[in-house]
A and B are shown apart, each in its own frame.
Chain A
């Protein structure tokens, strides 16, 4: 029983990370129809920024903030340099461009830093644990839940209350009609990328607090998982992406717990197999008939 509760806790934590990632991917997709396979690389950019801050001997709060900021800037630069020139191209062209960006970023870290993993030792308090009702809680769990809750709530408020939020929801429906309101297309898109970068940056802080190691190719699997979470939730549906992220997180934790040790290397493979079966039943994902943002 205790073990199950512990696994649920782990599922929630991992799910929250995937949800943040998937949400960022969904926002960009809902507005410009781009499946950004370089989304995971924002995590890499953020992680190496934190590594640099760590080398400079700065306190954790500063590197966490710098990591988030780097991810936001990374997203904005990607949009400006790589995706804006192909904005009116076919979805396939846009997707291939994002693959290109993904490969480029990973290669840059491999060549510029090192192909080998780099440890980013976390401050002691992050791994400090305490026991609540027989459950092993770590500060890292609280950090994950706190950050995710604030991010989701903040995004909800932004989309519902602010003008730019309304413009983003409107742009998911009819981009040209938003321009007819005198709202600049480039501004809406830049906001969407900035938000996707912000969410990826927050996810990166969480992931680093758990994993503590940066590698040049760490973004690939994470980006892929964000995509798969979107497919589960229904492409471009924001809250579907969140649900998909949690489902994926729980699925992964469950597989890891129950697969025999000899098959544990195939966790990811089994996970995607389950998603494939799910898609046979629900071809459009949980909430995906249309690509409109629903709040």
Chain B
């Protein structure tokens, strides 16, 4: 049996109100490729952040044993000095610096007072050769493709004398050819004795390279599968990932579904910066009156982009396709027009795109429908106050007064203010993007009740969620989205987590 290189023992990490990791045990042997899999929010990234020192020693419980000694990492440098290097999902390269400069950023060659550029470039060339990248070290990062950038990240890790390489979704933005090359590179490193941890959603890749697979679910380790003993097929792994019972966490509702309210045909959206990249690809969906339609998929599947592009082209370029409301085609060019056509988009990023944190609840409640509380451009502040109080009571928002700044509220209450804002805009179709992200179970239940109430009033709801149980528990119909495409449409009654997950990973 090979040496145990890393052992994480009984790791528990709590965020305010949420237990992100609950007594996790994770063991990696020297020279293996160990895959870490789980749904969004299962705790993979949190676990790796604990390991690399992003969450410093003392903010979690449990022990990290590396190379036989208990380690206390306070900053990333501490873990890197031991050879633990993490490569994050979002590339952390600076576009207007050269490959060599990026590779040694924060790890500069030469003396404290003078960078030795010759050594820098020479070493960079050496590491580039190790990862099989034929580029001049002085080429700027912006001039090479994403696949090559990923290789630069790996070379950068090697330059830090990595002994344990952690890759977080390294192939998320790569095409098939680059993906294959990268996986083969990992296998080559393995043959040279390198240990790697691979975090991936793409289970075919996991099956291809991994020696062992550890499954995380809801912040706990479920099982570790060994290539030599267990079946590492996709179906076997999926079962581990989703195998939880759906408890009675969803309020009951009588479906009363009417005519088609909104229809989208052949909707295609390109990325606003990388204009040749399709983010939403020929999507056709519809939602009826009184219906909750779910859009399931992994992060980055293009769901938010779809929703925002529908909402008055608030995302993307070169948008094509048809949007039909009540049987009539409409063209919405900005959020104003979308609101006028009784659409609402309740963002997933309530702090970034949704609320004005420095303003009180009442101002946030009315901002999308100021006409509703004003006469000819003059705000009736008493009416505004009344509206805010009305919605506070309706949604049971917990706050001392509606004069309270939204920034001081808990996530669940912020979400309610965001919902109040859009309910006051009086839409017919509400697109709720991850409406329960980061809020506790009680508040979730209340949000589900509000959704049921909305459809009972004859409104249509599109719910985007990465949490499969809530999609299954709430939706009449479910679209599965992956890589910009709708890959399946399921009836809410006979959909299961396994079905959804297999549609996602099959197409990945």
- Do A and B share a complex? no
Residues of A that sit less than 8 Å from B by CB: none
